Structure 1
Amino acid sequence: MIIAVAAFLVAIGILVAVHEWGHYIVARLLGVGVVRYSIGFGKRLAGFTSKRTGTEYQIAALPLGGYVKLLDENDAPVADKDKPRAMNRAHPLRRIAIVAAGPGINFLFAIAAYWLVLIIGVGGIQPIVGAPSPNSLAAEANIQAHDRVVAVDGQSVDSWRGLKLKLIDHALDNDNSAVLTLQREGQTRHSTTLNLAHVPDDPEQLFDKLGLAPYQPPATPIVDHVVDDSPAAAGGLQSGDRIKALAGQAVDSPKALVQAIRARPGQTVAVKFERSNRTLTRDIKLGRQTAEQGGSSDVGHLGVAIGVDASALETMQTTRRMSPIAAVPAAVDKTWRLSALTVRMFGHMFTGQVSWDNIGGPIQIADYAGKTASVGFVAFVDFLALISLSLAVINLLPIPVLDGGHILYYLAEWIIGRPLGEATQALVQRVGVGALMALMVLAFYNDITRLLG
């Protein structure tokens, strides 16, 4: 939790500073006065005022955002000598440039972060497929365990994450099929068509429907954590136990163990495991819990978090590394593709094709920040890039209190030749605040629901 909170504060601090610096620097370049540059909201904790420009720079108590306060006659009286620098007197196109600079600098930050990640080397899991689920679309396409996906529709794939993004793209675009180029037994290449005509757009359900999952090399499941008051705790399992068999059935991977447990709800099974170089067996009565995705039958429940020796997974690891020059277009392309994917996801949420459960808030961001920071510098920078472009896309939504809403105001003013009426602005502002509050409540609700399992 300490790592998560610290990483969250660092991430938010960096991204807010970058976003607000975009507004700040373009305002300065276009001759608009800046009254205050603030990281955080509320009471000032630290800061100073520039004697040359009169701009106040501060860090405030609530670290969930920030703002740049511009010189504006609509907010407070402005001295006659400073009126030419007031935001309200700037041409609408200049105001649009100042407002758009925040999201714009977030996109540039994402490109720079992805560039850095690519030249250092980004790790991932090789796109090698485990045994497809029976009667799944992958099984119908004759995809087999150990097949390596090398391309989707002729575009190369070098990691499991890349494969997922390409198939999600297909689902959101309502494509009926995707042609996968497979490598089998290290040499033979052949193509197969994956039927996507009736798959859900929602990424949470897509891969269950496809029946695709990464191949898990043989590796003894190791108990990482035992849940309090669970069947595992009652049966005496402990952290570090290496599970060898369940109900007389050998298990050589976490997936095999999970499948064996889920198939035996409420049964008493013999669990064979190693502890301190001793082989032990305990009879444990498995619990019952409702199957996910609205399943009609219960599944078995043991109550442990499972891991494996890191060395057992080394064969599945891959690293993508590029030269500084080659990484530039690759970083731009990745930022563009992920931004477009984010926009399409929002669009499908509004049409009901993708669940609003995919929206995350500060708790989820803090969780991911802590996990990536624990993994290492490259993972954390990759996370910063993703959040930066998400922040850019969200701020460009046409909601009045966001940058996208202000851009719409100024566009309307430029087109009709005068500002919108005060009553119209007040009404639209209230609607925008309501929409933003609803989005925030939904994000917190989803975060809390995930925490409660």
Structure 2
Amino acid sequence: MSDIVGSIWWMVVALGVLVTFHEFGHYWVARRCGVKVLRFSVGFGKPLWSRRNRNGTEFAIAAIPLGGYVKMLDEAEGDVASSDLPQAFNRKPVLQRIAIVAAGPIANLVLCVALLWAMFVIGRQDYSATVGHAQGLAAQGGFQPGDRIDAIDGQSVSTWGDALQAMTLAAMDRRDVQFEVTDGLGNQRHRGLALSALPEGFDQENVAGIAGFAWRHQMLPAVVEETAPGSPASRVLKPGDQVTALDGDPVRSFGDLSPLVQKLGAKGGVAMIEVTRGDERLALNIKPQWTRDPESGREYWTVGIKPPQQAAPAAYDAEQQFGPLAAIPMAFRETGKLTSSSLGMIRRMLTGQASVKNISGPLTIAQVANATAKRGPDWFLYFMALLSLSLAIINLLPIPVLDGGHLLYYLIELVKGSPLSERAMATGQYVGLAMLASLMGLAFYNDILRLVT
């Protein structure tokens, strides 16, 4: 229940801020152009609060917090007194109307840069793109546990999120990529990943996993929580011991133990298991025993260390923090990177390279809002920046009823020298509404499918 309430609350907070900035962009430029604004509303439906300023604009907060609008004086909206005609939106030159409509998405773009600047000043805590385990295509490409990815196809990688995004986009393009990594010994290496070999219809939300990567921060630590009674481990290990090596082979995570135990059992004899116990480093003798699972009948070597039921989150090992001045170019750079990625994703969905499953609706947005709020202000600022940028891009799409659709009308008017006919604009509105309804329906469907699965 707390997650549901938190999701709703943080989504309302995020959308409230973003919509307010978006509509303020329209409002501010409209007032600079001499247009009379009748209402500035955050939300739709019946106003819960409102007040009127000296210019006659009603500012309102409405009951349905999923958007907002700025209502301007316009002859298309109703009769306008002759004395007010100079303040009507439709009487303004086409370039001013273009500026007023474009101001909303531009305000969201400016807000994106400001939010990213604040995030970099605070410092975003994250995980490095360090490999914990490699198999399949990753192992074929030469990746080893402990490799830290520094760059992919010449583009620098600061976090595992950067690596995931670069790999996902390359996989959609069926393109092989080259990696620059620092191995566990600090040496610079080059690795390759044949993403073109991924199977048809692969899960685009799990490219790294399908390619054989497991990240170090996702691996269960090799900490002894419990040992099986009468097992070899019960005689030499204690709860809290962290296994660091077995028979000379390093152990970086709990997943490393099983194959090493099988290897040691096949070899036969006693070996050293190295552990950290408090401030001590110990080397203890251990010998695997042959075991048969009574339920499955499977036989295997074991030392009797039970995996932890629930591990604490790994400590962050990467931070992006800059001073107030240094954060300015970083914010612009990150905005450019996110914009390029978002536009590239739209292009890939239009060409069929990317699955439409990547489209998310309000349910997913609410869940992510709650999750990022729990991670801290740095992550919530990043989420809001990304959402603000998405709002700007979506509104600029040339779909009637969106800002981009109106801009398309005005650009046509600018070229042909006269406005489109009312019939043509009405037809466009119906088409736009149908397209928007289809897009929202697909987003809701994807949200529900994610919840069910």
Q: Distance in 2 between matches of 1:175 and 1:450?
A: 25
Does 1:120 find its partner at 2:122? yes
Summarize the alignment of residues 12-411 of structure 1 with structure 2, pairs less than 5 Å apart: 12-50=15-53, 52-134=54-136, 136=137, 138-171=138-171, 174=173, 176-199=175-198, 203-215=204-216, 216-219=218-221, 307-310=310-313, 313-314=314-315, 317-411=317-411
CA RMSD of aligned residues (A): 2.9
Q: Distance in 2 between matches of 1:11 and 1:222?
A: 42
Corresponding residue for residue 245 of structure 2: none
Deviates more, 1:364-373 or 1:199-208: 199-208
Matched residues, number: 381
TM superposition score normalised by structure 2? 0.78
Corresponding residue for residue 236 of structure 2: none
Matched position secondary structure for 2:399: coil
Matched position secondary structure for 1:103: helix
Q: CA deviation at 1:217?
A: 4.9
Letter in 1 for 2:123: G
Relative distance call for 1:252 and 1:130 in structure 2 (3 A) is: closer
Corresponding residue for residue 272 of structure 2: none
Q: CA deviation at 1:170?
A: 3.5
Q: Distance in 1 between matches of 2:17 and 2:177?
A: 39
Q: Is the 8 A contact 1:44 1:60 kept in 2?
A: yes
Letter in 2 for 1:66: G
Q: Distance in 2 between matches of 1:213 and 1:4?
A: 29
Relative distance call for 1:333 and 1:19 in structure 2 (3 A) is: same
CA-to-aligned-CA distance 1:168-192 (integer Å, 9 cap, x gap): 34445x3733221111123211112
Q: Is the 8 A contact 2:176 2:193 kept in 1?
A: yes
Q: Distance in 2 between matches of 1:191 and 1:319?
A: 24
Q: Distance in 1 between matches of 2:384 and 2:185?
A: 36
Q: Is the 8 A contact 2:108 2:388 kept in 1?
A: yes
Q: CA deviation at 1:154?
A: 3.2
Deviates more, 1:392-401 or 1:195-204: 195-204
Q: CA deviation at 1:318?
A: 1.4
Q: Distance in 1 between matches of 2:131 and 2:170?
A: 19
Q: Distance in 2 between matches of 1:113 and 1:203?
A: 28
Q: Is the 8 A contact 2:220 2:311 kept in 1?
A: no
Q: Distance in 2 between matches of 1:435 and 1:222?
A: 56
Letter in 2 for 1:60: A
Matched position secondary structure for 1:390: helix
Matched position secondary structure for 1:343: helix
Matched position secondary structure for 2:352: coil
Corresponding residue for residue 278 of structure 1: none
Q: Distance in 1 between matches of 2:88 and 2:332?
A: 35
Q: Distance in 2 between matches of 1:254 and 1:399?
A: 52
Q: CA deviation at 1:451?
A: 1.4
Matched position secondary structure for 2:420: coil
Letter in 2 for 1:75: E
CA-to-aligned-CA distance 1:14-44 (integer Å, 9 cap, x gap): 1110111111111111111111100001111
Matched position secondary structure for 1:69: strand
Q: CA deviation at 1:391?
A: 0.8
Q: Distance in 2 between matches of 1:188 and 1:376?
A: 34
* Percent identity for Structure 1 against Structure 2: 42
Letter in 2 for 1:195: A
Q: Distance in 1 between matches of 2:417 and 2:57?
A: 31
Relative distance call for 1:390 and 1:190 in structure 2 (3 A) is: same
Matched position secondary structure for 1:40: strand
CA-to-aligned-CA distance 1:272-305 (integer Å, 9 cap, x gap): xxxxxxxxxxx9979xxxxxxxxxxxxxxxxxx9
Q: Is the 8 A contact 1:34 1:70 kept in 2?
A: yes
Q: Distance in 2 between matches of 1:31 and 1:323?
A: 40
Q: Is the 8 A contact 1:8 1:366 kept in 2?
A: yes
Matched position secondary structure for 1:213: strand
Corresponding residue for residue 448 of structure 1: 448
Deviates more, 1:182-191 or 1:433-442: 182-191
Q: Distance in 1 between matches of 2:405 and 2:49?
A: 31
Q: Distance in 2 between matches of 1:409 and 1:254?
A: 61
Deviates more, 1:29-38 or 1:193-202: 193-202
Matched position secondary structure for 2:42: strand
Q: Distance in 2 between matches of 1:159 and 1:435?
A: 37
Q: Distance in 1 between matches of 2:43 and 2:395?
A: 17
Q: Distance in 1 between matches of 2:393 and 2:153?
A: 28
Letter in 2 for 1:429: Q
Letter in 1 for 2:194: N
Matched position secondary structure for 1:74: helix
Q: CA deviation at 1:419?
A: 1.1
Q: CA deviation at 1:197?
A: 3.3
Q: CA deviation at 1:395?
A: 0.8
Relative distance call for 1:342 and 1:189 in structure 2 (3 A) is: same
Relative distance call for 1:37 and 1:383 in structure 2 (3 A) is: same
Unaligned runs of 5+ in 1: 224-241, 245-250, 260-282, 287-304
Relative distance call for 1:359 and 1:219 in structure 2 (3 A) is: same
Does 1:421 find its partner at 2:424? no
Q: Is the 8 A contact 1:202 1:354 kept in 2?
A: no
Relative distance call for 1:431 and 1:149 in structure 2 (3 A) is: same
Q: Is the 8 A contact 1:220 1:308 kept in 2?
A: no
Matched position secondary structure for 1:130: strand
Corresponding residue for residue 302 of structure 1: none
Q: Is the 8 A contact 1:400 1:429 kept in 2?
A: yes
Relative distance call for 1:257 and 1:440 in structure 2 (3 A) is: farther
Q: Is the 8 A contact 1:128 1:160 kept in 2?
A: yes
Q: Distance in 2 between matches of 1:150 and 1:401?
A: 44
